[in-house]
Amino acid sequence: MPSITRIPFGRIGHDSTRVIFGAAALGNVTQEEADRTLDLLLEYGINHIDTAASYGASEDRIGPWMKRGLRNNFFLATKTGERSYQKAYDQIRKSLERMSVDQIDLIQLHCLIDDVEWDEAMGPDGALKACLQAQSEGLVRFIGVTGHELRVPRMHLRSVAHYDFDAVLLPYNYVLSTNAQYLADFEALEANCKANGRAIQTIKSITAAPWGADATGPNKFAATWYRPLVDQADIDKAVAFVLSRSGIYLNSVGDINVLPKVLDAASRYCAGEIPTPLQADMHKLVVERDMSNLFV
């Protein structure tokens, strides 16, 4: 059976598969489609789900899985995008209800990169206070922070200096690694996290480019908000590039139809069947697939 390596998720005492199921992929699917995706996750031994209150129907689709007695199969993470205490607390309670669970393993402050929003969320009546209250009540176990954009590594460093978060999540792929400033900031955050036992989750591993003119047209072939790589050989390289960075996690793709290719690539990389790509291989891929940075 295919399998994906498990490593300690930071300091918290859980061994997570190096590929985390990005449940944004469930945002606009039927329960039947979601259940077929669950079968795939179980086949590959995926034991970590990452969703968010804002991911459409995602939490609602996960709820029936938990009712089937599968709660102990998964480390369950979600996110709140609210910035004030009461709204964030209410949203956390609603996420528990939607997913039919009594406790969330990891609650994350969602996409915290704006300075004004950061001040509110970290303030005396902010979302962090709600997370801490939920933690004290046993509703959540651990607390993390996530973000997009080129400034996110620096903002995460600011966040972990303010509060000792258990996990961070941010973009990482080959194209981003060619941005010298982003790579330097990413590596500074990585060093900080490893020194403090903080888990590092990455997103956007198979991003090719922004959609551009195809964003809503008939040529849009995936549910992702970016144009993904879709050929298996291309995905093999992109996934191997991310997983070759030791100790970090790859949050999978936001499309249930592309997902099998990501899991297949990760499984074969973990089995030693896919080599770590050379820089020349990745550069060739960028040229051939007209890849560009999603963030400007």
Task: Dump pLDDT digits (tens) for 85-144.
Answer: 999 999 999 999 999 999 999 999 999 999 999 999 999 999 999 999 999 999 999 999
DSSP codes, 70-103: IGGG-EEEEEE---BHHHHHHHHHHHHHHHT-S-
Query: What is the three-class DSSP state of 274?
Result: coil
DSSP E strands in the chain: the ranges are 6-8, 15-17, 19-22, 48-50, 75-80, 104-109, 140-146, 167-171, 199-203, 207-209, 227-228, 248-251
DSSP codes, 15-27: EEESEEEEGGGGT
pLDDT value of position 2: 83
* Model pTM above 0.85: yes
**Alpha-carbon span 212 to 227, nearest angstrom:** 9
On whether the 6-288 domain is CATH 3.50.70.10, my answer is no
Residue range 30-58: mean pLDDT, rounded = 98
Task: Dump pLDDT digits (tens) for 65-95.
Answer: 999 999 999 999 999 999 999 999 999 999 9
* 235 sits in which H/E element: helix 232-243
The widest CA-to-CA distance across the chain, in whole angstroms, is 52
